[in-house]
Amino acid sequence: MFKPFLSSFALVLAVAGARAQTSSFLCVHCDRKIVVKSKSDLAKKCAVCKCGVAASACRPAKPAKPATKAQVGKYLVELRVPEEGLFAGEQVDVEFRLSDTTHSDPIEGKRGVPNAQPRATVTMPSMPGMPVVRPKIHSEGVPGDYGVELFFPHGGTFQVGLLLTPPGEKPLRTSFSVNVNDAEARRSIAKPKPYSVEMLDFPKDARAGQPIDLHLEIKDTKTDQIVRDFDVAHTKLIHLIVVSKDLGWFAHEHPEQQADGSFRLPQTFPAGGDYLVFADVAPKDKGSQVISTSVHVAGPGGNWSKKLAPTTGKVAVDGIVAEFQPTETPIPIGKTTVVSFHLRDEATGQPVNDLEPYLGAHGHLMIIHQDGQAFVHSHPAEDAAAAKLIRQGEVRFTARFPKPGIYKAWAQFQRHGKVVTLPFVFEVK
């Protein structure tokens, strides 16, 4: 289905027992979080950072404190984020309260406002191309208390917008910025995902080199019912990413929806082995969801390299020479960042300035962790600044890497009517 808007923030952890207290600082030059046990360690950490700034230039970082209250006229809106925080990949019921500050009881406090016809939207400012989520809202049984059913496909900063209409009043709007942790940050048992993808009638004797009818459906895990209604995301109802388990082979396909809501795609696998199947879909008003399954195909193994080593230098495919450049070094973990692709014409050496829209965007970037568990599907921004860079041969994508390890990326661009796929391998540590 992740993707520069987060600043590093610090947590001061009081550790029980004999452990010393740790503190975090932000380097004023590179804004990198530096965790130390004592001030004397700071210079050493800065040297590792290679920013060339003296230790005295580092400043204590302040914890991020997103606002959870908003005053709109005489009304107060309070968002009750769980104490443990919010985590990607799981559905959570988050309460909010609408109260009238002009009516206050010494015991019950400000009067709650029921029947406010609440509506909500969830967006990610750093990824304006993501479908808008319109989550369900229900009354919690206490006047003025409501619950909104939220799901975040990945970590980052999201915007929760509320439209409330108190009885007899004009609609009022407010919004809250919420920080969502990566799923890998959860230490307790993760909650189940709201949707799953199931492969139907996949042949047990499927062999490489022979056409196979991929038949799949998206199901609601609560009701076990097939999902039939989807929002269009980048001109398609579904983006299906199929890769060999060793990440040596890649395909980006778009199955056709059938009358019963399922999807079909004729697919020929090039070699025997295990394949990972990622379905990037947006169930109606629920936002982007990336769900996965796997299949096995019999036959001889692939003739591609099984070694997943970081790419050194540039990659040339179909007349385009590309260079992968992260905007932050090292690539941060658990923080939204920007990665850049510099594209040149292989024949002339000049910047590629004639990219064409492909599936509603000037580029698509798919990134998968070596363990097959972390997946990123990103697109360039659609503003004037991004358009200017694209005309100069530079395409930027927002991404987020939830854990260290080796990642493989496939950047896709359309030029002269042909889609060009450029693979890169890199390490995040």
Question: What CATH number has the domain bearing residue 365?
Answer: 2.60.40.1930
Q: Residue 204 domain-assigned?
A: yes
Percent of the chain whose pLDDT exceeds 90:
68
User: Given this model, what pLDDT does residue 140 score?
Assistant: 85
Residue 202 forms part of a structural domain: yes
The pLDDT tens digits of the residues spanning 178-205 come to: 999 998 877 767 677 899 999 999 999 9
**Which helix or strand (DSSP H or E) is residue 24 part of?**
strand 23-26
Q: How far apart are CA 279 and CA 217, in angstroms?
A: 10
**Inside any domain, residue 127:** yes
What 3-state DSSP class applies to 41? helix
Q: What is the mean pLDDT of the chain?
A: 85
Please state the rounded mean pLDDT for residues 301-318. Answer: 94
Distance CA 382, CA 43 (A): 41
Q: Express each pLDDT in 243-275 by its tens digit.
A: 999 999 999 999 999 999 999 999 999 999 999
Q: pLDDT value at position 108?
A: 66
CATH number where 209 lies: 2.60.40.10
Single residue among 164, 185, 206 that ends a domain in this structure: 185
Identify whether 307 is part of a domain: no
CA distance 295 to 357: 32
Average pLDDT over residues 133-156: 90
Q: How far apart are CA 87 and CA 16, in angstroms?
A: 25
Nearest CA among 118, 292, 267 for reference residue 203: 267
Residue 174 and residue 243 in one domain: no
Please give the tally of structural domains in the chain: 4
Q: Within this chain, do residues 281 and 334 fall inside the same structural domain, yes or no?
A: no
Is pLDDT of 232 > 80? Answer: yes
Task: Summarize pLDDT for 202-227 with one digit per residue, the tens.
Answer: 999 999 999 999 999 999 999 999 99
The answer to whether position 253 is within a domain reads: yes
Dig out the tokens for 3 from the structure: 């993707």
302 within a domain of the structure (yes/no): no
What's the pLDDT score for residue 82? 86
Q: Residue 305 domain-assigned? A: no
Same domain, 210 and 102: no
Structure-derived torsion over alpha carbons of residues 68, 131, 355, 267, reported in degrees to the nearest 10: 130
Among 17, 42, 64, the domain-final residue is 64
Question: Checking DSSP bridges between strand 273-281 and strand 289-297, what pairing results, if any?
Answer: antiparallel
User: Same domain, yes or no, for 285 and 201?
Assistant: yes
Beta pairing, strands 86-87 & 172-181:
parallel
pLDDT of residue 32: 47
- Residue 394's domain comprises 315-428
Structure tokens belonging to residue 82: 């769980």
Whole-number pLDDT of residue 186: 78
Asked whether residue 17 falls in the same domain as residue 94, the answer is: no
58 and 73 in a single domain? The answer is: no
Supply the pLDDT for residue 336: 87
Q: Over range 6-20, report the average pLDDT.
A: 30
Do residues 219 and 169 share a domain?
A: no
Same structural domain, 423 and 329: yes
User: 0.85 exceeded by the pTM?
Assistant: no
Residue 7: is its pLDDT beyond 80? no
* Domain presence at residue 123: yes
Spell out a b/e string for 40-79, using b for 16 or more CB atoms within 10 Å of the CB, else e.
eebeebbeebebeeebeebeebeeeeeeeebeeeebbbbb
pLDDT of residue 80 exceeding 50: yes
